[in-house]
Structure 1
Amino acid sequence: MRNTYLGFALLLMAGPVLAELRPLAEDELQEISGQAGMSISASLNFAANPAQTRCPGGCGTRVAIQPANSSGFIVLDNIQGTFSFEGLSFDIVTIDSGYDGDGAAFNSSAMRLGLTDASFSNARFTLAGSNSAASGGAGFQQTDLLTYRVNGDVRMNGNLYLFAAP
């Protein structure tokens, strides 16, 4: 009973908290500093689909990318395993120094994707070239270039920079 009175007394003493949402003028914005970007965490499990019979035991996920001015596709096929990360950050950075002097010559913005505590377990995928984004069907052709498989865990950290094409 004593805790109830204490809680009620603290609630009365706290007073109202008010926040105002309003547009800021340009000079007010100039005085504000902060950090841009966002962070995401996820765990993704890519399992084989037994209905996809072109792979023994079923096929995993397929990702197809068609480069500009190309009729073919670069494919990551039969992706299986668990991929997880505790932090994936997206940020726009200006590269104007470093990289053995190349940063000063570049002197432009790039998108930085950062991985924190990323790992994949019991993973596999096949890098291939294909004439179709979807697998199977009449006339489907695919040339497997590389198959990667790991039984166990792989841990990764680091940044990937994406630059705009001129």
Structure 2
Amino acid sequence: MRSPIACFLALLAPVAAADLQPLAEEELQAVDGQAGISLAVDLHINRNPANTRCSGGCGARLTIRPGQSDGYIVLDNIQGRFSFEGVTVDIEHIDSGFNGEGAQFNQQALKIGLQAATFDQAQITLAGSNQSQPGPGFTQTNLLTYQTSGSVHLQGNVYIFGTP
């Protein structure tokens, strides 16, 4: 009697012997598939008492410098559990919909699909800053803080539109 591993390897032998062949442009254009990326993430971000810019310590900080701007968009004091299952990232051409504005836009947009996103005991502050990290001359203007003491469940699509 053969072992299950030997049987499995015997089935794979013809596949292992197959070689890769380049496709002509016409053959490649006939291939149909799904583009994009699918992700699953489960993050637990705790307050760090060593970060003293917040009373009692701070959570994580993410800074984004748009283009050649002098300032930064800041997601600050990020805390809690963030779980994303089946997050998809894709590029979609928008040329219709959006109450008629899609036809005027007629460009590509980044589409982030949320199949199941959950935030538990979460907090995040949206701010503007003159520096990426606190230091001499640092100023930050907090615009809003979102906090939940329970769970929030999200699903749907987020579109990010570029500007000329």
The structure-2 alpha-carbon separation of the partners of 1:122 and 1:12, relative to structure 1 and needing over 3 Å to count, comes to closer
2:163 counterpart SS class: coil
Deviating more after overlay: 88-97 vs 114-123: 88-97
2:99 counterpart SS class: helix
The structure-2 alpha-carbon separation of the partners of 1:15 and 1:82, relative to structure 1 and needing over 3 Å to count, comes to closer
Q: Percent identity?
A: 52
Distance in 2, matches of 1:101 and 1:161, equals 16
TM-score normalised by structure 1 residue count: 0.84
TM-score normalised by structure 2 residue count: 0.85
**Equivalent residue for 2:116?**
117
**Equivalent residue for 2:129?**
130
The structure with the larger Rg is: 1
Distance apart, 1:29 and its partner CA: 1.0
Deviation string, structure 1 residues 10-54 (Cα, Å, up to 9, x no partner): 669858423331210011112211111120101011111111122
- State the Cα RMSD in Å: 2.5
- Which ranges in structure 1 are unaligned for 5 or more consecutive residues? none
- Which ranges in structure 2 are unaligned for 5 or more consecutive residues? none
**Equivalent residue for 2:14?**
17
Deviation string, structure 1 residues 41-71 (Cα, Å, up to 9, x no partner): 0101111111112212211111122334532
**Equivalent residue for 1:52?**
51
1:129 counterpart SS class: strand
Distance in 2, matches of 1:12 and 1:125, equals 51
Amino acid at match of 2:142: D
Deviation string, structure 1 residues 130-156 (Cα, Å, up to 9, x no partner): 222102x22222222222211110000
Distance in 1, matches of 2:136 and 2:70, equals 17
The structure-2 alpha-carbon separation of the partners of 1:163 and 1:10, relative to structure 1 and needing over 3 Å to count, comes to same
**Equivalent residue for 2:155?**
157
The structure-2 alpha-carbon separation of the partners of 1:16 and 1:126, relative to structure 1 and needing over 3 Å to count, comes to closer
Amino acid at match of 1:107: N
Amino acid at match of 1:56: S
The structure-2 alpha-carbon separation of the partners of 1:37 and 1:78, relative to structure 1 and needing over 3 Å to count, comes to same
